[in-house]
């Protein structure tokens, strides 16, 4: 979950550092030179690390002046240590090291040690992130996180190289072009997966229950179309949201209006598909939830201090007009997807169907820092309207439905009542009305007709407006969702 922000904490004041004792002219010159370099290094760190340095003072608002002074003294001792190590690396490492890279890696190490979602972004990475949230970027089309030193796939994005190659949520990427990812930060691994459009890359994957295998992909310009929709079976509005970018809520609103016009009075409800949706912008999750909820809280965000709580409430209006909604989720539904699913579930506005979601309940704030880069820092946890935190828990569906493959089984012909010899005529039949042709089903079909008969059993449903289209048959969870909406609609109509 990303909450854009550019506010910076104030820079700390300059502070004198301890100097080593004098040990003769030569020692003095060497010691003084090292000290100057150390002071220069530490001063650079203080300027570059303006945000982290100010944090201890910010967190000690209620502490005594003596305790705050002690904490600051210890902090500067640690920074002095850092400056000493940095200078030794600059002077004694076997090969010349780039100072800027050393400091950036140190900052990233500090942040990534906090949690899997905090990190430092170089100016280029920060720019790429801004482009990505607008819905277009270059790469493989895969949302990832870091787990035990390897890259874990949260979800592939629809119609991207990763999705087309069969990459699945939960896959572990342990090597890129034959080079282990162990030791890389998440941002470094992401940058390696991105590259020039058309350039190939080989990723090595571990998948549960299978031996490790390699997948060769070609980088493409990833244009994320966050919302897709279609009419299922002539009466169910299907809306697929792949990510929460700046265009997501607008796309859902347009989808609902077009589905209303296309289906007219036959529209029975909506399926909102958030499966394999890795999340995105917080404001988009709030706006999308608001579109379906009449009133009440959507989500609350609680920061470090108990009093730092933000709440967002729904405005009157439901774009669906109160029609039933089923939300599809799975283990790839994370962050913003979980906010939407949790809000609709707590308000009993939708039925959540599928499997347990990813369980990312934290909010990251993007803070621009000196040099044009930015830090992505976890600053809060979010809670559903009922006060639930889904951190490491996820959203548990109301109806748990695992993915499954289904197939049409041809029924044995000739065993209906109307096919039996001497069966009693239906008293409602009018004289002269057409009767079922029992002769064709009376005898077992010839072997040469078996295949045509089997193919005919799958084609009638394609033209039946009350049945889902052929492509939906392979999506068991979607089929269950559509059947559930039709059942709710049927029951509601009978009650009226």
Cα(117)–Cα(105) distance, integer angstroms: 16
Q: Which of 158, 171, 235, 346 is catalytic?
A: 346
Which pair of structure tokens corresponds to residue 32? 């003084």
The alpha-carbon radius of gyration of the chain (Å, integer) is 30
Q: For residue 160, give the nearest of 149, 177, 144, 182 by alpha carbon.
A: 144
Residue 1: helix, strand or coil by DSSP? Answer: coil
- E runs forming strands in 269-346: 269-273, 297-302, 309-313, 325-329
Helix 50-59 vs helix 25-48: angle between axes, to the nearest 10 degrees? Answer: 80
DSSP 177: T
CA 318 to each of CA 89, 253, 259, 285, 323: distance values in angstroms, whole numbers, following the listed order: 61, 11, 15, 15, 9
Q: How far is residue 299's CA from residue 417's CA, in Å, rounded to a whole number? A: 57
Take residue 241 and report the two structure tokens written for it. Answer: 């949201």
Q: Which residues, 6+ apart, have CB-to-CB distance to 331 below 8 Å?
A: 169, 170, 355, 356, 357, 358, 394
The β-bridge relationship of strands 374-383 and 297-302 is antiparallel
CA-nearest of 292, 221, 276 to 244 is: 276
Give the C-alpha separation, 443 to 368, whole Å.
79
**CB-side exposure of 112: number of CA atoms within 13 Å?**
20
Residues written for the chain: 496
What whole-number distance in Å separates Cα of residue 484 and Cα of residue 475?
14
Of 46, 59, 48, the residue nearest 14 (C-alpha)? 46
Catalytic annotation on 335? yes
From the CB of residue 190, how many other CB atoms can be counted at a distance below 10 Å? 21
Name the active-site residue from 163, 248, 333, 335.
Answer: 335
Instruction: Confirm if 117 and 363 have CB atoms less than 8 A apart.
Output: no
Among 41, 290, 360, 362, the active-site one is 360
**31 flagged as catalytic:** no
The phi and psi torsions of 148 (rounded to 5 degrees) equal 55, 40
CB half-sphere exposure, 64, CA atoms < 13 A: 3
Q: Are 360 and 144 in contact (CB under 8 A)?
A: no
Q: Which residues are catalytically annotated?
A: 335, 346, 360
């Amino acid at each position: 979950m990303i909450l854009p922000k550019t506010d910076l904490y104030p820079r700390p004041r300059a502070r004198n550092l301890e100097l080593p004792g004098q040990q003769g002219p030569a020692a003095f010159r060497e010691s003084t030179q090292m000290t100057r370099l150390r002071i220069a290094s530490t001063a650079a760190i203080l300027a570059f690390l303006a945000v982290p340095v100010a944090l201890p003072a910010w967190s000690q608002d209620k502490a005594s002046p003596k305790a705050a002074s002690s904490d600051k003294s210890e902090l500067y001792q640690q920074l002095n240590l850092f400056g000493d190590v940095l200078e030794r690396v600059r002077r004694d490492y076997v090969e010349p090291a780039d100072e800027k890279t050393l400091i950036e890696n140190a900052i990233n190490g500090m942040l990534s040690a906090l949690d899997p979602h905090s990190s430092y972004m170089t100016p280029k990475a920060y720019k790429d992130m801004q482009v990505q949230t607008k819905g277009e970027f270059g790469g493989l089309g895969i949302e990832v996180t870091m787990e035990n030193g390897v890259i874990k796939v949260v979800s592939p994005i629809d119609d991207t190289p990763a999705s087309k190659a069969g990459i699945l949520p939960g896959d572990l990427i342990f090597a890129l072009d034959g080079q282990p990812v162990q030791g890389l930060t998440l941002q470094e691994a992401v940058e390696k997966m991105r590259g020039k459009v058309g350039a190939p890359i080989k990723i090595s994957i571990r998948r549960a229950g299978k031996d490790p295998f390699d997948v060769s992909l070609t980088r493409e310009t990833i244009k994320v179309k966050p919302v897709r929709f279609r009419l299922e079976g002539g009466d169910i509005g299907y809306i697929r949201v792949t990510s929460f970018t700046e265009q997501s809520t607008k796309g859902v609103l347009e989808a609902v209006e077009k589905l209303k016009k296309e289906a007219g009075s036959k529209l029975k409800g909506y399926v909102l598909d958030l499966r394999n949706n890795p999340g995105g912008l917080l404001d988009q999750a709030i706006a999308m939830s608001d579109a379906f909820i009449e009133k009440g809280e959507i989500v609350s965000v609680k920061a470090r201090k108990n009093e730092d709580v933000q709440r967002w409430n729904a405005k009157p209006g439901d774009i669906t007009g109160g029609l039933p909604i089923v939300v599809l989720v799975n283990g790839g539904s994370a962050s913003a997807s979980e906010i939407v699913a949790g809000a609709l579930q707590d308000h009993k506005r939708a039925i959540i169907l599928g499997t347990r979601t990813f369980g990312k309940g934290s909010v990251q704030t993007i803070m621009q820092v000196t040099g044009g880069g930015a830090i992505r820092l976890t600053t809060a946890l979010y809670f559903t309207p009922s006060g639930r935190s889904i951190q490491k828990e996820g959203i548990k569906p109301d109806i748990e439905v695992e993915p499954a493959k289904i197939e049409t089984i041809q029924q044995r012909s000739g065993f209906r009542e109307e096919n039996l010899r001497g069966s009693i005529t239906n008293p409602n039949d009018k004289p002269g009305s057409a009767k079922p042709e029992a002769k064709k089903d009376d005898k077992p079909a010839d072997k040469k007709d078996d295949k045509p008969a089997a193919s005919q059993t799958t084609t009638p449903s394609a033209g039946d407006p009350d049945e889902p289209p052929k492509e939906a048959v392979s999506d068991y969870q979607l089929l269950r969702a559509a059947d559930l909406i039709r059942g709710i609609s049927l029951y509601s109509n009978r009650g009226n």
